[in-house]
Structures are given as C-alpha cells and as structure tokens.
Structure 1
C-alpha cells in the first residue's frame, strides 16, 4: 500500500512533468521562432536601411564635392569650397562603414573597391588640380582641363556604380522580406499543429492520472469542496487525523495549495510587472518603473538599476535608475564587466545573494536616521544568453525563497521586455530616417499583429510616427520654398551692392574730374605767380603764390589717396612688378627725410643687415609709398628722440605666424621705430581704417587726413605682405612691414591685364589709327633755355578745353613760352577749326567736354588723312585705372592728368615737337 501511494504520487508528478515538458517545448519552439523573426526584422530595419542610407550618403558626398569644386572654379569664392572640404572628409568614413557591412559579399566588395578607386581618381585628377589652379588664378590651365574634363566621366561612372549597388541591395532586402513572410506562414501552421499535439498528450496524461487517483481522493472531497466554496481562498488547509494514504493525500494537497498560493502570488506579481512594461519606450523610464514596482514586492528598502551599453571591450554597466537613494550614496555610475559584484554578476550571468553585509557602503536613509542593510541581492537579466541589465536590491530583512522564485520568473520575461524597449527605441530612430521603409515595416507589423500584442503596440507607434514624419516633410517643403525665396532676395541684394559699387566708382571718377578741373588752373596760375619770371610780385606775394601752389598739391595728393583706396577696394589696382635694389632704399629715404628730421632735431638712422639680398622682386613704387607714409608718420608724431628704419630678413616663425601662405618665399622685415607719442591698445587696429587717427577728436593736434596707414595697409595686402604694430603710449611705436619677393606675380598681373584688354576689344569695332606713344617719357630732359625758346617759339598750338579757368591759365602759360594758341571749346569746334587750318604743330585735348568729348574728337582726327599724324596730348581730370589706355586707344599720342604740372607738360611738348621737327 505504501508503494502504491508512492506510485500514485509519482504518477501525478510524472503527469505534470510531461505536460510541463510539452508546454515548455512548445514555448521554447515558439520563442525561438519569434526570436528568429525579430532578428530578421532587426536585420531589415537596421542593417539593410543603414546600407541604403550609406550608399545614398556616399553619392551625396561625391555630388557635393563635384558641385562645390565647379562652383569654386567658376566664382573663386572660398565659401564654395566648404561642401567640397566636408565631403572629402566624410566620404571615406562612410565608405569604410559600408565596406564593413558588405565585406562578406565578394561581388559587393569588388563594386565598393571600384567605387573607392573612382572617387580617389576624381579627387586626385579633377578636384584637387582644378582647385589648386583656381587658387593660383591659372585660368588657361582651368580652360584646358575643362576642354577634356575627364572628371565628368568619372562622376558619371560613380553614379552608375552607386546606383547598381543600391539596386542590388534593394533586391536583397526584398528577398529577405519574402523569406520572412514564408517563415511566418510556417510558424502559424506549426503553432496550430503544436497546439493539437500538446492538447492530445495533455488529455491522455490527465485521463490516465485522474483515473488512478479518483478512488483515492473521494474521502477528502468534502474538505476540498469546502476549500473550493470559500471563494478560492488558497490559504485554507485540509485537516485529517488518520494516518493513512488519505493523510498523505491531504498533506500533499496542502503542500500543493501552498505551492499554488506561492505560484499564484508569483504569477500575479509577474503579471503586474508585465503590465507595467507596456507602453514604455525608453530604458530610464522602464528602469525606474521596474524598481518602483518590484522593491515593495521584495520588501527591499534600496535598489539600483544598471543597463549594459557598448560592444566588445567597450561594454559597461551604466546606472540608469535608483530607488530610495540618498545624496552621493546613489551607487557607482558605471562598472566594467568583471568589476565589482555588479560586473562579476554580468560576466558570470549569475545571481548573488549576500545575507550578511555589515560593512556595506550603502546605508538606508529614513526620516529618523540610517539603517544598515541585512541582505543584498544582485540579479542579472538576460535575453538570448546575453546580459542586458543588472539590478541590485538591499533590505533590512533576508530575502525569501519566494522572492528568489519571483525573480527567476522575471529574469527571462524582463530581459525580453528590455530588449523590446531597446528595439522600439531603435525602430523609432530608424523611422525618423526613412518614411518609405517605415511604411514597409508597418505592413510587416500588421501581418504579425495576430501573434503578439507587443508587436501590435509597436505598429501603432510606428503609424503615429509616420504621420508625424509626413507633417515634418510638409514643414520641410515649406521651409525649402522660404529658403528659395530668401535666396532670390539675396541675389537681388547682391546685384544692388554691385550697382552701388559701380555708382561709387563712377562718382569718384566724376568727382576727380570736377575737383581736378578747377585745381588745374589754380596750380598753373599759382606756379606761374610763384616763379615770378617778370618780377611783377614782391617777395610776400610770391610767397603767397607758393603757399597756394603747395596747398593745391596737398589737395591733389588727397584726391590721389582717395582714388588709390577706391582702386584697391574695386580690385582695379595693377601692380608693376620689377627688381627693387635694396641698397637704393636708404639713400632715397635719407634724401627725403633727413631735412625734416633735422628741422625737428630728431635722430634719423637706417640700418640694413649684411645678409639681406641685394634685390627684392616687388612693386617698387608701392613699396616706397608705404615706407614714405610710415616714416612720415613716425617723424610727425615724434617730438624728441629718434626715428629709425631697420631692413632685415624675416624670421621664419614670423612668416608662419603672419603670412603663412608665403612661407616658401623670401620675405623682408622692414621696421620703422620711433620714440613718439605711441598708440593705445584700443586704437591700434582703428588707425588702419580710412580717415582715422590716434587723436581722433575734432581738435586734431597733428593734422592729416587719416588715409596714409589705410593706403599702406591695402598696398601691403596687394604685395601679399602684412603690417604689424607694436606700440606703448608715451614710449613710441614700431611698425614692421613683412614684404615677400614675388618673381611670379608679374605673370598674374599680365593675365589680368590681358583679360581686361580682350574684354575691351570685343566691344570695339575697327580701331582708329593711333600715333604710337613712347613707352617711357623722360621728364628730366635737360635742355638749354635757348633751345627751348627756339623750339616753342611761334609754334601753333590748338587747345581744346571747355573750362574758361583752364583756358585762361594754359593760354597764359603757353604764350609766355612764345607759342601761338588757338582755342576750341569742344570737340565739334575743334573739328571746325581744323577743317579750316591744318598746320597745327600740336593739339592739347581735354577729354570731358560737352557736345563732343575728347575720345570722339581724337578718333575723328585720326580718320582725317590731312591731320591724322598731328601729335595730340590728352588732358583729363579723370584719374581712374585704364584712362591712359583709353586715351591712347582713341588716338592720343600721349596722356597727362590734371591738375597739370607745367614742367611735366612742357617736357611732353618738347618730346612731341622734337619728333615733329625730325619728321
């Protein structure tokens, strides 16, 4: 009988075991299939999407580099190079990431290697060379390159290669989706078959076991009925006084009730935790909710949640949430695998239960004080054999076996929950990248909806995200239209700025004419008065005339300074590059500034280092203008002490710091130092701006226009150099000019000039006959007074001028030399006069005149065979770039700008009158 009872017991256990095995097998199979499907979904949503995005990004990098390269070559603006630089820095990283995804496919790997070679060839053969030529202003090289334009074919090949690779990956993704659908259909069929098989096996087991124990439990039916009638109170127990198998059955039943009660409690808590997990889409919220829900169930007074992050050697367990933590005792921020009990639990995938922790760092904080924990529990939560999180609980009481069983039940469930939340986070990230793939995933999610409530929730979230993305797309389209409108407005504004610049240039040219015209007569007449050849003025009156002449020259210098600034600002200043003899600079500066320094009792010294090369290739005129300005300012602002100029080779460190683009050139450092008033730090940059001085108040102490340093700064930039200032108030200043030797810059200047000439020629018709002007006019010709008198006497001069003041001044000056002057007030009168009289020895032709200007008049003269070889000297008050070329092209023999320097004018006249005599 005893054995019989044991047999019955074992039959029950075996029956339950078999049922559990069947159910467990079914769950395991289903879990494996669901995991496999989920892995396939992740592959499609992560790997395939990433591959497509990388291919698109790589193509975008290449197109951006090509567009930026062509934009820079066309405009020469550095901002167009930003997409090229960014694409050049990013494409290889994107390529390497894509290569890692496709390295297991030989054909894809081969395609990627061909793509890499194509991009590298384009950069080395098209991108970098054209950019370098544009930076060097090698226009002909750029034109020659684009005549062949091998880079376009390379970019076209690259687009074809990328599109072929993208189509191949799209086909692969489509095959994955079809395979996933087939497996999903097989899963549904397997589930139904498994359910039928498990049901049949369970029915057989239950029938057999129940048949063997029905007779045994009849004696306790009444008691069990009472238990059943007590509203399912599993705490009720069967009491039997007999000592037979009924008692054993009763005890077994009581034990079963206890287990069921525990299991019911566990299942209830597991259900609560599972319900709590629903709708959570981020790990911190999940961790906080888990601790808040589970800590009371385990009677824990403290808890901390660590989530695994990173991959490989970079894996760490990072604290995501805590429960009842206080101040700095909230737990370590992170652990490496194997570090501490947290890291060790993750490494070994095992639970640690410490029932004695008197020296534990954690103290449980209450309103009344602190308590030491009695038991500490560390649990890893896994998913598919991989630890996803570690949770630590501390309690003032020992954790029970029931608590441990609850955690055992939660280990697998909660690991799935963590993975699902991470999956949802990943899905949401992927949804934001591609709306099309989101719709495909939504379709797949709907097909799997009948199998998992969790997946249904994800599908709903994806749908809502898709709607949000559509709204974002509409918003982006609207923003794009607004940006296009803003672009059109900017282009309009740019055109307005260009016109404004042109108006400014025209204004300066016209103002130059309007100022120089009256200034011409002032200078001519004041010079004649100052010379006082007829001794008609006393010494004071002659001095007044010299003051007037000097003031006029100062005004002329101011006009020239303003025009120089305008030319530099408009990019129309052409440098004359030549060899500059360094040894001549000290002599010239001493000649100019020794008298001024002696007058102020200042010491003036110039030192040239022995190792300075004898020749510097630059624009000597602009260099001297810069040095004159610096020395003039140094002497003007120095009352006592000294002014010095030092010429030496520049230190390579200074070249690297101030003009790094000239590091491969020879650079001179010319410093001008003084012991004058000095310049405050807050005004050291201001003085290089136009019309600004150190004493910038209305009552300037030192005078001047404030244009000198501004012009020096602009000329220095044209010479590819830099001016550096070091100054201390009341102690003096040191201006250091770094100027490089530029033997190749003349070619750049010639290219710029040829382009301008070519553009001008295209707009002209047949050019008129022009009397060739001498390349260089020597204004220092020394001739005897007798020869000049004979050369000028009785010469017939035709003066074409519309300003009465200039007519009066010029006629007086010319008649004083014995010449006969005929006046025409405009070009039309000039032609009328010459139609009646053709024996003029020389014509002085003003340019800006009413009715018919000087250009048209000279062209008409050169078309008349009777007078076409008469020398014409153009007189113009316009002093902008190319005015001389325009005059010569129109037919002038030579050119002189107003206000006229009469000595210079007479020198020109001697040259052309002499040529007439020789003919």
Structure 2
C-alpha cells in the first residue's frame, strides 16, 4: 500500500465516526437554527421597521420645516417621499406583530398619532407656506402643536421598541440555554471521534515510520560527511520517493547558497586594504562583471561638486581602451539618474540593436538586457552600477548582486570617508603650521598690548571724568527730548488747526463764489437779450474764472484732507468697459480742437469689473490726461489699461496682480533732474512768471497721493523733447471685501485715520424714493434747451407757478438764487434762518420745494430739517440741502437730518434745476 492508501484508510475510518456523530446532532442543530432564524429574521426586521418608521416622520418634519423656512420647493422632495412610504413600512410592521395583541394595539396608537400629526401639523403648515400666509405660520409655531404630537409619537415608539427588545432578550436566553446542551453533546461526540482517530493513526504510523527513519539517517549522513555531492537514493514508489527527491533538491539549493555566501565573503574581504575610491571601484567592477557574466559594466559615484548633486563615472569594464557610457548624470537624469532618485533597481529586457556592442576577437554582438542598481548605505544612495547581459539575468544572479552591493556600500563609504579624513588632515596640518606662525605673532602682539594696557589705564581715568560730563549731557538731552515732544504736540495741534482753517476757508470762499457763479452764468446766458455780445463775453470770463477758482479750492481742500487723514476712500465696483466711453466724451473734443490723435488701448483679458474708488480713479486719470493734452502740440495722446505682475519699483506681494493705467504723450517731455519735482505741490518744470503753460502745480501731487490711498503707485518715464508716460499701478481685486482689506493699509500709510467706506443704503423718509433715482434723472442736462436771447427758456414751463422757499442767511446767495428762480417763472419765498423758515411754512402751506442752506445763525439747516420732518404734513415736502461743505460726511449728515437731496456750493444751476424738476414732479 502506498502512503496515500494508508492515510486514506485512516481518514475513511475517522469520516465514518464523524458521519455517525453528524447524523445524531443534525436534528438538534436544525431545530436550534430554526429558532435562530426566527430571532434574526422576525425580531431584527421589527426593530428595523420601527426605526424606519421613526426616520420617515423625522424626514417629513425636516422637509416641512425646510420648506417653511426657505420657501424652496426642493425641501418637499424628501417630505413627499417619506409621506408616500411610511404606510408601507407600517403595514409590514403590523403583519409582523399581529400575533402579539399588546404590541398590535400599541402600533395602532402610533398610526393614529402619525395621522394626527399630518392632519394637524404637516398638511396645514405646507399649505400656509404655499399661500404665503405668514400669520398662520407664526400662529402655528406659537401654539407648538406639531412638537406636542411629535413628542407623543417618539414616546409611543420608544415604548413599542422597549417591549420588542424584552421579547428578543427572552428568545435569546432560551437559545443560549439550548445551545449549551448541544455543546455538551458535541463534546462527547468529538471525544469519541478523537479516540477512533488516534487508534487509526497509531496503526498507520507504524507502517510509515520505518521508511521515514531510513530517509532521516541518510540526510544526517550527508550533512555530517565531507562530500557535498552525495544524494539520497530511494527505491520505493510511494511518497517517500517524493521526499527523497525533495531532499536532493534542497541539497542543490544548499550548495548554491553556500557558493553565494563564499563569493560574498571573498568580495567583502578582497578590498579591505584599498584606500582610493577609483582603485576600489575598478577592482569591484571587474569582480562583479565576472560573477554576473556581464560583458560590459560601468559604475558611477555620487558626488557633490560646486553645489550640484550628480553621478560621475568612476570605473568601466571591457572598455576597449576607452571609457564606456556618459561622464556625468544629474540626479533624475537618464536611467542612471532616475535609479538614484528612486533608490530602486531597474531591468530592461528589450534593447535596440545599436544600444551597445560587445566586441571580441571573433566579432561583435548586442546584449539582450541591462540592469541598473543603486549602491546604498542606510537608505542613502552612494553609487549606481549598470551591467549588460547577453542572455538575461537569472534570479540567482539578482540575489547575489543584491547581497554583494550591501557589503560594497559599507566598504565604499569607509574608503570615501577615509579619503575625506586624509584631505581634512592635510588641511589641518597646513592650518596648524599657519597657526604656529600666527601664535608667534600674537605673542609679540601680547607684549605690545601689555604696554598699551598701561596707556589704557590712564585713558580710563580720563574717561571716568568724561563719563561724569556725559551724565550731565544726558540730563540736558532728556530735557531737550521733553521739549521736542512738547513741540511735536504743538505741531500736531497746528496741523489740525490748519486743516480746520482750510475747510472753513473753503466754506467761506464757496459762499460768495456761489452767487458770483450763478449771476455770471445768468448774464452769460442772457435770457432777456439785453446784453451785448461783448458784455456776454465778459460775464463768461468771470464765470470761467470763478470755476477755475473753485477747482483750486477743491485741490487745496483735497491736499488738506490727505494731510489731516480726513479723506475717505470708498471701495466700489468700477466698470472698466464704461471707462473709455467716459474719457472719450471728455477729451475727444479737446483732441479735435488741438489737431492731435487720442488713442485708447484696452487689453482683451481685462475683467469687466474690479473694486476701487471710482471717483478718485477718474480724478487721477482726468488729471493725467489733462496734463498730456496741455503739453502736447502735435502727435498723439494714448491711454491704455493692462495687466502687470508687479510695479515699477518691484514685484507684487502675496501673488498680487496689478492693473496698469498709463497715459503717454508725444509732448515736450520732462528733464530727468525735474521728474521728481513735478509731484510736489505748487511745483512746475517751468516756474518762471513768463512760463508758456499755466496751472497751479497741484494736479500731479494730488494724483500721487490718491494713488497711494488706492493701494497703488504712480510712476513717470520721460525724455525731454520726446514725450512722457505716467503709469498708475493698482492692485487687481475681484471682491469688495478684498478691496477694503487692500485699501485700508495703503490709506493708513499715507495718512493715519483715513477710513475705507463701503456703500451703504441712505435713509429714506416716508414716501420718498432713494436718492440714486434723482441723481440718474438729474443727469439730463437741460442746458441744451436754452431759448434764444430775449425769449423765456423753453424749460421754464415745468416750474411756472411753483412756489419755492429759499432759506439762506447770505443776502448775495438769496439774491442770486431768487433771480435765477424767477427767470423760470417760479414764485420765490425767502427766509434768513431756520425759525423764519418754520414760520413761513406754517403761514404758507402751499410751498412746493425748499432750498435749505446749512450754516445759518440761531437755527442751522440740520436742526430746521429735523423740525420739518417731525410734522406729519411736511414729511413729503421736498428739501434740497445747499452747503459749501463738500465732504462725504456732510452729505450723509444732510440726508440723515431729513434732506431729500444734496448739492454743494458753488451751485451749477443746470444741475439744481434738474433736481428741482425731479422732486417737484413727484
């Protein structure tokens, strides 16, 4: 009998006993399994359906509340899904517990609660929301009906679930008891089967053991003997024969391993006396190429030279009188560099025919594969070796190379470390000799220092005397510092007084200028036709001079605001597509008049919107373009907008990109020595009294300060006689919040205390539209509708018969305004202060509009407007505030006090009449 037959006989006997045992306990296990299936199928399904029913109610409640809160109908999708599915879950659950009367009754109560919730809470509340019945919704939530029903539902579900858990626990305990009995019976059956198996094993082992002992003695004899070629010979045809053959194969493997270990040991000890890396790599490569049967081989050492990490060719095998391969590879370059970068072996088995040629005395041939492997030590790559093979590398060769390279890495590191130590030692010896020479010099210097020490002692005594003198001086400096701080406080106070003076002076200048501009404009228009053309020209010159004076006042006030930190920057969306249209409308007539070309160039990739202060941006661009046209007699003026990654002074920070607004001209240019001077206030390139070009010299100074406040810079490139280019770099921000964050630090650097304002809705009084509507309609200039001299203006008709109350303490303004209003056939009432205004409104209720000055004695404009708005019958009365205060807080303050609209002095009558037309028509 073979071993298989013998062992099979024993197994058949064991299987026979096991079959008997299985037949006996199968019935018991079947009963137990049936009960377990009931628990896992019935009880678990009941629990799952209970949870699903509760989840569906929560889903309906959540969807309903989401729809009521947001009005979004998508919240009704889960609501409707749960609504349509809960009854199916209920029916399945009801069928599972219908054999349990108490649970069946509890489940019917749960259904009544769900029906009650849908009828009293879900259906009405969803319908209220669809009908937009907010009052009913608020009444529902105040009554809290849905929550009461939901709490009752959860309580009922918890009670139902608790009973089911108790039933499941009872069934589980019964199963556990029966399982214990079954386990005891199984132990008895297993014991009987084990006894039978042991008896069969004893019988079968006796027939096998003798043969195995013979094989064991043969193996011991082989391992103890000196002849490694001895093999086991077994004549039986059973599995012992297989054991003998396997033992012979094991001996073959043992001899291979013994040969590999011998080669590794020889390689590790062969290079112990070598101290140079080139000799080491050459001898090692010859050894490895021979063991691996490689006709070609190269080895690269890793070196750090001139800050570069690279692999340098150190040795080659079968080089035919020359070096094989490239001289150097960077890490990651080619297969050699990539092998070092990845620190892993590479094997290529498909090579082109001309990859490399193996030469011998009989001819040449191409290798079939190459292997590139790193030489490492503690995970660090020290070198890379590349081998070529004619037949391909066997697994035994790969394993041999792996173990050889591990020991070679240690040897290579030792040699290179020793070479580095020798180099450092040589340098150290040279430095030692140099230090000895320096030591002798230091000794001589030490003697000299001793002499100098005595001299220093004398000097030290003199210094002590001077120290006393220095302490006295320090006290004097402290007193001087306190005096400087006092002067600084005085200077700050003086600066504040100066700013307040300029603001007040601006107001005082605007007040008489207002009447002068109004009356001169009326004379220039000559509505009655009583003036000669020459007299009209005189009036027009007076009006233009007044406007120039107004511009100068505005420029000085802007500089004062910047210096005092009162200038506000408002971050708002700026439409770049509208900018060319606005500038063309202003400067194309000037270009046509001077006979020069006006070009506008916009990059295609520009955004349509970016965030900045649009008013200050346009003021800067108008200043730059006005200067360009003023100093250009021929050629062209070019305005362009594009992108830049940085400013002229340096790259942008935090990856910020810039929008570049540039104005180029072909004018007179600016000398290099005066290019910084043009940015100073009241400074010009030609400052003589006989200069050709006029101007105050404030435009560029204000433009530079505004550019800083916007977070950017203003630069100049110019050549005398060829033209100039002014470029403004502004940070490109796509969001209002980001614009505020960018503008605030920039504004702080220019003047502490400047605030960055964002657009806020202005307060509107009852039955008044927002001011933006009035401004839009007021933009229609009525000046084009002037009637010929001697005739009444065509647009006087909308004002005929209207009553306007002018409230102003300045008789000049009252006269000028009254005259202009009466020309429009308006009935004018006047009041010198707020008290007279209130008295006139009480006695003259049919007033159509009030023109309210702000700065008045006794009762100013703010207080008067508040008093007007405090009365019910004056809430809709249009009030236009007239004030020489031109700052944004002044406008906001007027609107908060009750003004319908706001206009600053000096007045532009066309704009005033447009505003009056808008508000009177309401």
TM-score by length of 1: 0.46
TM-score by length of 2: 0.46
Q: Which has the larger radius of gyration?
A: 2
